[in-house]
Amino acid sequence: MKRIKAVSMLSVSIGTILFASSAAFAAGPAASGIDSGDTAWLLLSAALVLLMTPALGFFYGGMVRQKNVLGTIMHSFWTLCLVSVIWVLWGYSISFGPSIHGLIGDLSWFGLNGVGLGSSPLGSPKVPHLAFMAFQCMFAVITPALITGAFAERMKFSAFTIFIVLWSTFVYAPVAHWVWNPHGWLSTLGALDFAGGTVVHLNAGVAALVAALVMGKRKGYLETPMMPHNIGYTVLGASLLWFGWFGFNAGSAITSGGLAALAFVTTNTATAAAALAWAFTEWAHKGRATVLGAASGAVAGLVAVTPTAGFVTPMAAIAVGGIAGFICYIAVNLRPKLGYDDSLDVVGVHGLGGFWGAIATGIFASPLVNPAGRGLLYGNPHQVIIQFEACGATIIWSGFATYVILKVIDAIIGLRVSEKDEEMGLDLSQHEESGYNLS
């Protein structure tokens, strides 16, 4: 009897903790000013962006060798699981919570305390705060997943797990705060970043460069063949990324109106232009347009149009995407000569593409399509300088903090799998599974 009583007491107290924020929830449906169209589009967009992370797993998974396909897909899938929980616990609060000097949010929204069904204090008052939180969660998920391409085929799974927890807490959250929290210091400076070129892509690209340098090359890099084992997976992943990116960019309008339509059109146009530019460039350069090239070009275009999407005309999107496809092709071709093994070209595609997109926003932003942005071509050269400042701050912080995080993990448990495990492949050595058991 006594024991039952104790258990029920315990469950009551757990219930009290779990529903501590129920006051905020109760405020929900009755709250006025929620727009059903905006909310529907935002929730759907969040689901679209969610799809991008497993899609990235397939994009990367096709490019590695057969023995690492599961380990690579797992990097994305595992990140989706880890960051979804971190975001609810503390990630959202330190990214978007009440600002401490524009540098970082405080912990007052820990466990989504006070984040409820009512009107959102951020983004748009016409959507529930929970919907805005969920949408932002998906961005926090995909950003660290992007980095995984840099250390594919050689990272220890335990070290990887710790890396994702630390990186999303100490790198992603502060940078998201600077750019997207209205009190963040880059936001008050006037930097334009429609859907996360700096926060997501440049940030991940810089972290990828640092990770590739700290981790070192794969065993036998440039000596033994490391061909993509299933380019069909890569194209499937790129296509699903493209699809999900409509949520990423058009969803970032946080409204289902004209701005979302603009971002939708610029996203599609820039992506197609970039795929064409990449493939035509390699056709001219190497004599063949490759499937991997078209898929890679599409992703470069998606990256570059991310900060630009809601600020430029569809015609400008062709230039943004076309230039992205061209320069990312050059960068990726230079990689073997640069001496580091960024295995799946996160630096060349996301780093450079994100950087170009940020600068392109400063050049092409048109007040005629969106009064919030005026770029160089519309008489405001200063915007380009602000864009450079935002990029510079991201590069410095992401580079420094990623380096420290990796060095600490390396000192404590080691980042790399043993040579024997690397030879065996991550699927067997880290997960005791094989990607293909066909017979």
Partner 1 sequence: MKMVHAVIKHMRLDSVQKALMKIDVHGVTLTEAKGFGRQKGHMEVYRGVEYEVRFLPKVKLEIATPDEKLEEVIDAIKSAAFTGEIGDGKIFVFDLLDVIRIRTGERGEEAI
CB of 292 to partner 1, least distance (A): 6
Closer by beta carbon to partner 1, 19 or else 283: 283
Nearer residue to partner 1 within complex by CB, 239 or 333: 333
CB 205 within 8 A of CB 391: no
Contact 155, 149 (CB under 8 A): no
* Of 206, 227, 143, the residue nearest 393 (C-alpha): 206
Type of residue numbered 279: A
Which is closer to partner 1, CB of 330 or CB of 372? 330
State the minimum distance, in angstroms, from the CB of residue 340 to partner 1: 14
Residue among 133, 161, 130 nearest 145 (CA): 161
Quote the least distance from Cβ 336 to partner 1, whole Å.
5
| Nearer residue to partner 1 within complex by CB, 65 or 129 | 65
> What's the closest the beta carbon of residue 210 comes to partner 1, in angstroms?
21
- Unique residue bearing structure tokens 């090359």: 217
Would you tell me which residues interact with partner 1 (CB under 8 A)?
A: 222, 225-228, 286, 288, 290, 292-293, 296, 332-336, 345
Residue 432, classified by CB atoms within 10 Å of its CB into exposed (0-12), middle (13-18) or buried (19+), is: exposed
Question: Shortest distance, CB of residue 439 to partner 1, whole angstroms?
Answer: 12
φ/ψ of residue 315, rounded to 5: -65, -40
- Between 61 and 251, name the residue whose CB sits nearer to partner 1: 61
Residue 286 or 382: the one with the smaller Cβ distance to partner 1 is 286
User: 334 or 408: whose CB is closer to partner 1?
Assistant: 334
3-state helix vs strand vs coil in the chain, percent to 5: 70, 0, 25
Give the nearest distance from C-beta 75 to partner 1 in angstroms: 19
SS3 label, residue 100: strand
| Distance (Å, whole) CA 43 – CA 24 | 19
Max distance between CA atoms of the chain, in angstroms, equals 82
Contact (CB, 8 A) for 119 and 96: no
> What is d(CA 357, CA 354) in angstroms, rounded to the nearest whole number?
5
- Eight-class DSSP state of 102: T
**Minimum CB separation from partner 1 for residue 438, in Å?**
12
Nearest distance from residue 63's CB to partner 1, in Å?
8
Residue with smaller CB distance to partner 1, 58 or 311: 58
